Structure formats: C-alpha cells, structure tokens
Structure 1
Amino acid sequence: MTRRLVRAGVQLALFASLILILVVTLDNRFRVLPASIHGHLPSHYSGFVITDVTIVSCSAINPFSNCNPPSEAWSQVQKDLYLRTGWTSSAFVQFQRKKEEDLTSSDKVVIDLKISRLIPESNEDSTQDGGVWEGRPGGVWVKRTAKRHASDSQKAITSVDVLFGADAVDPRIGWEVKDTPLLLDSRTEDLEARISVRRGDPHKNKKPVPKINENGRFKIMQLADLHLSTGLGACRDPVPVEPVAGQKCEADPRTMEFVERLLDEEQPDMVVFSGDQVNGDTSPDTQSAIFKSVKLLVDRKIPYAAIFGNHDDEGNLNRAQSMQILEDLPYSLSSAGPEEVDGVGNYIVEVLGRGKSGHSALTLYLLDTHSYSPDERQFRGYDWIKPNQIRWFKTTAQSLKAKHHEYTYMHMNMAFIHIPLPEYRESQNYYRGNWSEMPTAPGFNSGFKEALEEEGILFVSAGHDHVNDYCMLNTDQNDKPSLWMCYGGGAGFGGYGGYGGYIRRVRFFDFDMNSGRAVTYKRLEFGETEAKIDEMMIIDGGAVKGPQEGN
C-alpha cells in the first residue's frame, strides 16, 4: 500500500512538472515581450509600407506577354498608362508592399520617388537617411533604405496611385503628385501620366458640419456643368476666345481660374456641384477630373456636396464608383444615399444654426436626375425623377418637420437637381435672367414639382442647360408665390456655350437668417467681373417672395 502511494506521488509530481513546462512554453510563445527583446518595432504606421516600385509593359499581340503582378506581394494600379490608346501595348505601375510587422532586417523601404532622365543624385552622396537612388523603367527613380526604422519616419511611402494631365492634382491628405510625367515613351509624356504617392497612414476624413456664421449669414455657391476632362481639355465656344491677347484658351485651367477667383472674392460657406462635373467622353480617367473639381475647395477648407449629371458616368467610372471617391475626400458632404432608392446621390445636407445650436437652420435636398430617357419611343430626351425618389423625399421631409420646428428662428428648405423639371418650360410664368435655349427637361412629368411645393421647398436649382440662367416663379391656385425654379448657368469651358456670345457664369445664394431672407445673383467670367448680375431677393421672412419693384 505504501509503495503504491509513493508511486502515485511520483507520477503526480511528473504530471505537475509537465503542466508547468507547457504553461511556461505557451506563456513565452504568446506573451508580448519587451521591445529590447523583439528589437525595434515600427509604430508610426498601422498598415503597409512600399518596398519597391516599377513599371511593366506588355504586348497584346504577344501571347507570352502580360502585365500581371509577378506575385501576391506585388500590387498594380489598375490604370493603363496609355489610357487604352495603345492598340498593341499596355503599361502599368506596380508596387511591392509589406506589413510593418512582416519587415525583416534585409527589407528595403521606399522613402522617396522621383521622375527624371538622369539620376537625381549620385549613390556616393547618399544622405543621412542612408538611401540610394535606384533606376526603374519610365524614368522612375526610387530611393530605398535597408534600415527598418525608415518605416517609422515621415519619409516612408505607404501607397502609390496614377493621375493624368499637366494640371493633375491630388486633394487627398498626405498625397503628392510628382511634377514630372512618366518618361516611358512619347505617349505617356503626351498623356502626362503622373505618379502620386502617399506618406503616412490613410487619412480618415470626418464629415464637416456646416453652420450658420455668427453674423447669421450663410452663402452657397452653385457650380453647374464644369465639364472637366482628363488633361487640359478643349475649349468650346469661349467668349472671348482670348481673355488676354495671345493667351490660348485651355478649357480646364480657364475654368479653374474662374472658380478660384470667385472663391476668393465671394468666400462661400459651402459649394454645391449640380452635375456634369466631368466631361464624359474626354475623361478616360474620371478620378483625375474629380480631383481637379474639389482641390480648390479642399485647399480653402470649404465643405461641398455633389450630385451627378448625364455626362458624369460617361468616362471610365460609373456613378457609384465616382461617389465612392467623393465620399472619401476631405470636406466632402456627398453621399450615395439609400440603396433602395433609384439613382446615386439622393441625400440631404443639414446646415446647423449659429453658435452652439445643434438644430438645423437650412436643409438641402439633393437628388439624382439620372441621364437619358429609358423610353425614347414615347418620351424622347432625358430621364425623370422616379416615384420611389419622390416617396423618399416626402418621407424624409415629413420626418424632419418636428425636429426643424425646434429651431428658434425660421428654418428653410431648398433642393438641387441636374436636369430641370418640365415646369421650367412654362414661359408664361414670371422669370428673370437669360433664356437662350429650350429647356431640355424630361418628356415625362413625374410630379416632383408638386411634391416640392407640398413639403415647403422654397427654391430648386438645376444645371444641364448651360446658357439658361434664369429663376422662374411658380404660384399656387390663389396666385400666391409657391416655388422658385432656378438655373445655375454653365461655368465650364469644356461644355458648350454658343447662342450669341454667352459668357460663363456662376450662381450664388446668400442667406440672412436674421430676417429669413435669401438673395440670389450670378457672377461672370469676363466683362462685368465685379458685378452681381440679376440680383434679387427670392425669400423673405422664411417664405417665397414674388417679384417686387427694385428686384
């Protein structure tokens, strides 16, 4: 009995020893060890760092040629550097990246990238970071360092993209467009294919919160029909042909100079893009055009909201893809809206009251008017706002009424669309401004104008018809003013002008919440550049105001 107990005790002790060894082993395997044991762990970035960048070319007529990344470690910017203009060849930027925690002592991290025909600096003159310049195809030079701490500095490149055009810009925080195009061959130089690089973490943009200014004022700038291209674009019907003698008209730079001047002179609190920011068939890289449209606003920290026109999805991106880009950009209020509602871009923007008020003072309804008629045989021309969009609008407006009543001043509602409503054709109504072309409204009337009036919308403003810039007044059955319907007026030189020397223009809406008033006017690109054209009060005391003497 005693011998049996001793044997059991020995077995129990051995078992306990095995358990202790196992626990220690597991603890050493999974516990976080001090940095002195692990060596240096990069802590500045949460994701990937770029370890190499190159350009690959391939031939469509060579069955053994392809541009696929060589391994899973490599990624590719999915933009043909020839913008699909090379009938027999393509080229792409590829980059290798690694997670920080996977970096080894032999890995190199890209800390700089330049485009040049000559080496930027000799390897013998390596800088303090220890990196050396290494040549790649297309005039690409990458400076890489084997020091793992490079990934922990502000120099490490963490992502790569491709944009196009001599006027290419990148509004994303932390991104930089290289000022020299890729030098692969004459085609990439003509297309001005450029690399844009990011340093640091991806920046998560917080939606701005627009508010009425402390003086009770708020100004909206409507940018209608910019028609920006990939690259400089071609001017259509410029007036004058040369604003400065000998200065050739380049569409996008001239459009952006016009917009920039008005931003600085008018200092709007918010900008609404009312569609056709992109010129469709001249935008094989829609991203480059979208970036140009918002860069001036990002630089000035001005919130903006965008809807689409019939040309915005005629480039290489559809509406959903373009809206995804817009949603992720700094100072953007843009939203795709509910998936169950027709279109992309049915949403609202609430402008809060001044000071610490958390109540809405202004509500902007933005709706997608789609593109071309789905039934050309019966209703030629353009598409219309769909029944489920109207239901969404009415449901949203009615659900907000109680909340808006909490605002101690006069709350106001307005709407922005791209394609005008059929009622824009009713020339018997009072209107003020330029009417130079027949309004290209849908052939089918879905009843959205009545819905706007029923829900207390004070004005709706459209784009689409470039040389119409009037505001038209609708009245109810008692001949009481019920709704203003305005045009923004075409601003971009990439879209048509014509019709007797039309000068590009931009519409503004200036709100004074102290008296519940709104004044609208336009500014011109040329000629009377300092004048406010067709200035008139359209809202007073928080209600639609009809034409009065002196307006």
Structure 2
Amino acid sequence: MGLASWVVNNFVASAVLLLCSVSINVAAAGKQVQGEGQKLRFGQNGEFKILQVADMHYADGEKTGCLDVLPSQVPGCSDLNTTAFTQRMILAEKPDFIVFTGDNIFAYDAADSAKSLDAAFAPAIASKIPWAAVLGNHDQEGTLSREGVMKHIVGLKNTMSQFNPPEAHVIDGFGNYNLEVGGVKGSGFENKSALNLYFLDSGDYSTVPSILGYGWIKPSQQFWFQHTSAKLKKAYMSPPKAQKAAAPGIAYFHIPLPEFASFDSSNFTGVKQEGISSASVNSGFFTTMVEAGDVKAVFTGHDHLNDFCGELTGIQLCYAGGFGYHAYGKAGWPRRARVVVASLEKTKEGNWGAVKSIKTWKRLDDEHLTAIDGQVLWSKSSAGNKRKKGIIGA
C-alpha cells in the first residue's frame, strides 16, 4: 500500500476520533485553547508554538487527485491526504496557533471556492485552536474574488484573521494585520505583547503592464507595518517592565522576497530545489524590516520545493516547504510543515519574562512524522552580543 493510501485509510476514516483526541490532548498538556475574540498568550510552560501550513492547494476533496507522488501512492490519493496531514500535525505538535501562508485553495480547479476553503481549514476549525491565514496567488482564481476569499476566511470559526487593519483607511491588498502574543498570565509581561506577529498580502500578479511576474508588498502596506512596529515598540519599552529593545517579531506572507536568492547551500539550513519565484522588482520591504529592527524571522510558501532558512542582516528568511497533495512537488520528497517555538526566559524572581529564543524544525508526512532541521533562529543572548560589537541589523 502506498503512503498516500495509508494516510487516508488510517487518518481520514477516523477523523472524528482524531479531532476529539486533539481537544483532549491539548487540554491535557495545559495548552490554552483560544477562540474568537480571545488573546493569544504564552502558556504556563513559557512557550508559544506555531504550526505553519503552506500551499495546501485544496480543491474538491476526494474528487481531486494528487500531483507528483510515487506511482504506488497514486491510488486513492486526493485532497483528503492534505486533510489527514493537517490532522496528524495538530495531534503531534499540539500548537498554540496555526498559520496558513497562502494558496490555501487551488481555486482554478475548485467547483466552489467557499466550499473548498471550508474543507481546507476544517481540521484547524475542529481543533478549536486559534488560526490565521494570508492569501497566495491562486486563492482568488475561482468563484470568489480576492476580496471575497478574505471575507470568507474572516467569517470562519476560531480564526484570528483580519480583513485589513481598522486604522488603515487606504491599504493595498486584503489580509494585512498584526496579532500580539501576551506574556504568561500572572507574570509581569501579562499585559505586554512579548511576541508580535505580522501578516501581509504579498499579492498575486503584477498589475503594472511594464512589469511581468508576481505581485509584491506595496508602499501602503510598508507604511502600515512601520507605524504598527513603532507603536508596539513604544508600548513594550514603556512601564511597567520597560524593556531596552523591541519585542521580537515574526512576519508571514506568501511570495518570497528577492532577498531569498541571497543564499546557497553553504549558508542555509534545508534544501533549495528550485528558483526563487519572487516579484521581478524589489519593493524594499526587506530594508523596511531591517530598519524597524523587530522582525527576527520571515516565513513564506510559494516555492514548494524549497524549505530552507537563511539569515541575512539579522533576519531569518524561511520557506515552509510544500504541504498540499494537489500542489506540485517532487515524487519521493515528502510533503512537510514547519513548526516555530518562541520560549521565554526566567527572571531572577523565578517568573517568566521576555522571549529568550525562537526555534524551528520541520516535520515530514511520512509514517513517523519525522522531525528534521532543528535550529535556533534567534536568541536574545546572541542578539545582545551583536549589539555590543556594533553589528548592524542585530
């Protein structure tokens, strides 16, 4: 029996049991199950874990076949394998938060975009774990416009996705927003955002006739990011528990920046098996993030055969690797997901303080959900040493 059929037979058929187990296991582990209108917060274990799902390319469920799998995996392989993989990851990692980084559906092949979106996000919704999504370049190619897709996502249960920031009256795209992750309840950081999450719409395709290729993050979005970053920094560096530097930030969007092409096998962790499909112009968003100083890592999708992380000027640029079975891939190279964990430091009083490190690893959709490429993306101690030495961008 092929791996794809094995996954379906063992996980999709028992979906109800699995989802019940997720709720039980999350509660048993002391995780905080959060829903609509609730604040993201570090758990009593001093950690905040994020599961990134990139490029599901969901269409019509069991009617939609798989792409680029081994011949033995073809029979019975469908979108349901993507559903099963999502369920397995939730069960294995018990994340505090789930992020879907675009091309959530392959709308061109979907009979009804709304139904495909509902099915794609169903495991996250059923788990009652808070989740958020951004748009890719394929989400709007079906029965819903780009605006319509984001409106539908915002209306789903347990999501913390936002259509656009309420304070930004004119901003390009749909799904630009930020979420704050509060410190441990009862600690001195309870009312501060210890970790800031930025979500941006990286567009779909260029609308400028003289520029070919994919879209990019526009000046209006960068202005919103700068304003938001400055506001969060001011709040974090104010009493009580005033800090000397900004809280670390993480950015999520779909299309990689041109700077992702800065690496080779000597200076990244993971693999690069295809070119960097960024916009053909550089809008300067990487420089904007460097100047802001708080973003420590960027996570994208789009290029399914790349799953590396590389550091450039103090910012880690990371791919998640392809997740969905209706997305292009590479036969024999398992679909995968990325996990990120931010950990807090202990204060002298023995309480939980600020973020001390951000770590990551990936899991493969094989029999054992094999974990690979564990690495520290950022640590407070190393950043402090860089600042002392005067290294720009630390």
TM-score per shorter chain, which class?
0.7 to 0.9
What is aligned with 1:519? Answer: 359
What is aligned with 2:372? Answer: 533
What is aligned with 1:459? Answer: 297
Residue 339 of structure 1 deviates from its aligned partner by 4.7
What is aligned with 2:205? Answer: 372
What is aligned with 1:487? Answer: 319
Q: 1: distance between equivalents of 2:381 and 2:177?
A: 22
1:56-455 equivalence runs, <5 A: 206-232=36-62, 233-238=64-69, 240-243=70-73, 248-337=75-164, 338-356=168-186, 357-375=190-208, 377=210, 379-406=211-238, 408=241, 411-427=247-263, 430-455=267-292
Residue 294 of structure 1 deviates from its aligned partner by 2.0
- Shift >3 Å, 4+ stretches: 240-243, 406-410, 542-546
Q: 1: distance between equivalents of 2:169 and 2:114?
A: 23
What is aligned with 2:390? Answer: none
Residue 251 of structure 1 deviates from its aligned partner by 2.2
Q: 2: distance between equivalents of 1:314 and 1:297?
A: 23
What is aligned with 1:103? Answer: none
Residue 501 of structure 1 deviates from its aligned partner by 3.3
Q: Cα gap change, 1:441/1:221 in structure 2, threshold over 3 Å: closer, same or farther?
A: same
SS in 2 for 1:431: coil
What is aligned with 2:4? Answer: none
Letter in 2 for 1:447: G
SS in 1 for 2:316: strand
SS in 2 for 1:268: coil
SS in 1 for 2:150: helix
Q: 2: distance between equivalents of 1:206 and 1:427?
A: 39
Note the alpha carbon deviations across 1:226-267, whole angstroms, 9 max, x for none. Answer: 0000332121102x4445xxx724321011111111110100
Q: TM-score, normalised by structure 1?
A: 0.57
Q: Cα gap change, 1:300/1:317 in structure 2, threshold over 3 Å: closer, same or farther?
A: same
Q: 1: distance between equivalents of 2:335 and 2:384?
A: 27
Note the alpha carbon deviations across 1:126-158, whole angstroms, 9 max, x for none. Answer: xxxxxxxxxxxxxxxxxxxxxxxxxxxxxxxxx
Q: Which moved more, 1:216-225 or 1:448-457?
A: 448-457
Q: 1: distance between equivalents of 2:149 and 2:157?
A: 15
Contact 1:227/1:495, CA 8 A, preserved across alignment: yes
Contact 1:228/1:293, CA 8 A, preserved across alignment: yes
Q: Cα gap change, 1:542/1:348 in structure 2, threshold over 3 Å: closer, same or farther?
A: farther
Q: Cα gap change, 1:543/1:293 in structure 2, threshold over 3 Å: closer, same or farther?
A: farther
Contact 1:483/1:544, CA 8 A, preserved across alignment: no
Note the alpha carbon deviations across 1:411-442, whole angstroms, 9 max, x for none. Answer: 32110110000011113572111100001011
Q: 2: distance between equivalents of 1:511 and 1:371?
A: 30
Residue 329 of structure 1 deviates from its aligned partner by 1.7
Residue 542 of structure 1 deviates from its aligned partner by 6.9
Gap runs ≥5 in structure 2: 1-11, 16-34, 346-354, 386-394
Letter in 2 for 1:507: R
Q: Which has the larger radius of gyration?
A: 1
Note the alpha carbon deviations across 1:182-238, whole angstroms, 9 max, x for none. Answer: xxxxxxxxxxxxxxxxxxxxxxx8423211001101100011000000332121102
Q: Cα gap change, 1:280/1:358 in structure 2, threshold over 3 Å: closer, same or farther?
A: same
Identity of aligned residues (%): 33
Q: Cα gap change, 1:543/1:451 in structure 2, threshold over 3 Å: closer, same or farther?
A: farther
Q: 2: distance between equivalents of 1:242 and 1:351?
A: 44
Letter in 2 for 1:538: L
Q: 1: distance between equivalents of 2:371 and 2:101?
A: 21
Q: 1: distance between equivalents of 2:51 and 2:42?
A: 15
Q: 1: distance between equivalents of 2:100 and 2:36?
A: 20
1 or 2, which has the higher helix percentage? 2
Q: Cα gap change, 1:285/1:483 in structure 2, threshold over 3 Å: closer, same or farther?
A: same
Q: 1: distance between equivalents of 2:209 and 2:381?
A: 41
Note the alpha carbon deviations across 1:357-411, whole angstroms, 9 max, x for none. Answer: 122111101000111122354x332111111111111011112211122574783
1 or 2, which has the higher strand percentage? 1
Q: TM-score, normalised by structure 2?
A: 0.79
Q: 2: distance between equivalents of 1:419 and 1:437?
A: 14
Q: Cα gap change, 1:321/1:544 in structure 2, threshold over 3 Å: closer, same or farther?
A: farther
Equivalenced residue count is 332
SS in 2 for 1:458: strand
Gap runs ≥5 in structure 1: 1-165, 170-204, 476-481, 547-551
Residue 323 of structure 1 deviates from its aligned partner by 1.7
